[in-house]
Chain A
Amino acid sequence: MSEFVTRIREKSLKKVVIDPVTRVEGHGKVTIIIDEEGRVERTRLHIVEFRGFERFIQGRPYWEAPVVVQRLCGICPVSHHLAAAKAMDVVVGVGPDGGLSATAEKMRRLMHYGQMLQSHALHFYHLCSPDLLFGFESDVSKRNVLAVAAEYPEIAKQGILLRRYGQEIIRATAGKRIHGTGAIPGGINRHLSKEERDGFLTDIDQMIEWAGAAVELVKKVHSQNPDFFDSFGSFPSNHLSLVRKDGALDFYHGNIRAVDADGLKIYDQVDYKDYLDYIGEEVRNWSYMKFPFIRKLGKKNGWYRVGPLARLNTCDFVPSPLAQKQFEIFRAYTGGKPNNCTLHYHWARMIEMLHSAEVIKELLSDDDLSSGELIRRGQRVGEGVGLIEAPRGTLFHHYRVNGDDQIEMCNLIVSTTNNNDPMNKAVHRVAQDCLTGKEITDGLLNNVEVAIRAYDPCLSCATHALGQMPLEVKLTDREGNVISARRKGSRA
């Protein structure tokens, strides 16, 4: 930060501060530094760090990790819950490939795909559909889910019910809709009752249909202004995710694959327990958040995208029929090469939502869910790594546990951290395209946020979604004096 302040003084740059980025999880702050002509000099996205948890968990017994660490997030706690559980499976000697009982693995998968469904629905309908349906520069009062409900009641209803369905799956597998206890080291603590399963089966075809409609909706929005949709905040990048052994899309388990902007494989089928040999984490003095990079390419060029877009760029196919069809269309759009358009995250996300619904249907007809062995134990070891594809991208959990069962070391690379560089790039691109004058409008500011929201959903709580979260904008001169200060939605 100090380097940053000095720079402003030296080069007579102006600083635009957007804080907090509304509807983005965690406290975010965007700084856009413009020179005297109002040209964007550089942009930086600051997001609160997660290191606090890594300290907090030290000394705690290992079995607490899946329950404690999920508190990192209110939108996709299941991802943390399961990534920690996967790491602790290793610690209790039940490795990731076939170590768990069939019941435990399938219950966890059901939980995870339920969470994909609910998180993707929330991300798309509640948080991003206002931008997509009303336009990025539309009136602030319109950019919330209530306005969508008023003008597009059917879409809003489907979004709400899709999300609720996913949440109910989570409740039935984890015990609660958020912050449950289902996954424990070496297994799961419950079966799915037949009544619950039948209830879910009744509605699943409807969910699949609506999820399919959501993919079509994205395509329709795209077709209205394809050039804009394709170029908004876009840039070529590497992509990274887990893929199944046969190259299929898999959210729960797989090996690491990374491809470059042209689709050439940088890594393939890397066992994630060795992630440290393949992924480095760079610290930069202006951000609390680390910048991960692909070691083979180095700090400068090794950054990568994760999340829905990256997953559909890395995988070879989607193992469910309807989603596979959509995947083929998605792939064909960029001639089979990776898709590097930031807003296409939404497209990819909805294809994934459709896939999740299809997988849920398949899992629900499996009898292993309602009976069978829950927990296993093997040879206890001192270290465990667990990776999972969270809704927003690859999530790394890594723990070392001492002989007294206490956690000694915890390292997390969360999806947002993986996307740190890409989000900065996207913001920069948008700022360059849009913020060319000295005048900062609400619409332009929202464009910056839209770019971030394509990667990361907006903040959890309803206050944000309802647009009541104040957005503070500051324009300062070279000495740091505030030239003007504005709150989003008002002309203060």
Chain B
Amino acid sequence: MMTSEKITFYIDEIECTATQGQSILEAADENGVYIPRLCHQPDLLPGGSCRVCTVSANGRNQAACTTPVANDMIIENGSEEILDLRRAVIEMLFIEGNHYCPMCERSGNCELQAIAYRLKILAPRFPFMFPSRKLDATHPGIFIDGNRCIQCGRCVRAAQQIDKKPILGFIGRGGAVRIKASSTEGLKGVDISPDDACVKACPVGAIIVKDTAYRKPIGERMFDKQPIGSEIEARRTS
């Protein structure tokens, strides 16, 4: 197979081009079409776990970050059905953790919050679960707040793939799965620093560099000026 062969596909009736072998999400990005995503990070292998990037590809719901784009593929990204499905997924993430945006230091810089705003979610349709989650504050420079973790696994993959040190991992199964530092002492027992990719990978307020909170004034935070995905969409008009 020729991997560099150009193919044509359609997202919401917009004609797009891609390179054979790209995922739908990568191809959409290049064409300036934003597909919401949480567990995907361009410099990491796809995780395919959050399902926020779900699109309808040739009539089947697929995760855009793990599904290769194909010639003549017809993709629905903005249909009401798809949007509602994504909203449901985001709402579930909200209710199964303890996400208090108004007081969270990541507010305004949080991808989960930004996607919720972009999808115009006002209140979740599911009842809040108010789980009891733990904090790991043992490290002098970094802490993990399980309340805000969405188990996207970006930190775990970044530690392995970029930092090349398996200091973070998952424990538990199903709904009880959690990220954890790979030491019985918690974060204190692992070699982690604020500059590590695994720290920067967190899309929410679960992995935080200590004593940096609220330094960016309201109005200058990442998503204060324009909604998440705007930088991708800007590629389309330019």
Contacts and interface: CB of A to CB of B under 8 A. Distances in A.
Interface of A: 59-61, 63-64, 67-68, 71, 92, 174-176, 179-182, 184-185, 189-190, 375, 404-406
A404 B218 CA distance: 27
A189 B217 contact: yes
A356 to B, nearest CB: 23
Contact of B210 (A61, A67, A71): A61
B211 to A, nearest CB: 6
Contacts of B208: 61
A249 B208 CA distance: 41
A189 B214 contact: yes
A191 B219 CA distance: 13
Given A67-B214, A68-B103, A184-B213, A405 B219 contact: no
Interface in B197-238: 208, 210-211, 213-219
Given A71-B102, A71-B103, 12 more contacts: A63-B214, A64-B105, A64-B213, A68-B103, A92-B211, A174-B218, A175-B217, A181-B218, A189-B215, A189-B217, A404-B137, A404-B138
A405 B210 contact: yes
Q: Label chain A's interface by main secondary structure.
A: loop
Residue of A63, A174, A176 ringed by the most chain B CB atoms within 10 A:
A63
Residue of B103, B135, B216, B218 ringed by the most chain A CB atoms within 10 A:
B103
Contact of A175 (B102, B137, B218): B218
A185 B214 CA distance: 10
Nearest to B188: A404
Nearest to A374: B215
Interface residues of B, number: 17
B143 interface: yes
A399 to B, nearest CB: 15
A404 B141 CA distance: 9
Contacts of A176: 218
B139 to A, nearest CB: 8
Given A63-B211, A404-B137, A406-B137, A189 B216 contact: yes
Nearest to A188: B217
Nearest to A174: B218
Residue of A59, A92, A185, A404 ringed by the most chain B CB atoms within 10 A:
A404
Contacts of A182: 217
Contacts of A181: 214, 217-218
Contact of A184 (B135, B143, B210, B214): B214
Contacts of B137: 61, 404-406
B140 to A, nearest CB: 8
Contacts of B102: 71, 179
Nearest to B212: A63
A405 B217 contact: no
Contacts of B218: 174-176, 180-181
B106 to A, nearest CB: 11
A60 B210 CA distance: 12
Nearest to A377: B211
Contacts of B217: 175, 181-182, 189-190
Residue of B105, B143, B208, B213 ringed by the most chain A CB atoms within 10 A:
B213
B124 to A, nearest CB: 20
Given A64-B105, A67-B103, A405 B214 contact: no
Contacts of B135: 59-60, 406
Contacts of B216: 189
A428 B224 CA distance: 51
Contacts of B138: 404
Contacts of B213: 61, 63-64, 67, 184
Contacts of B103: 64, 67-68, 71
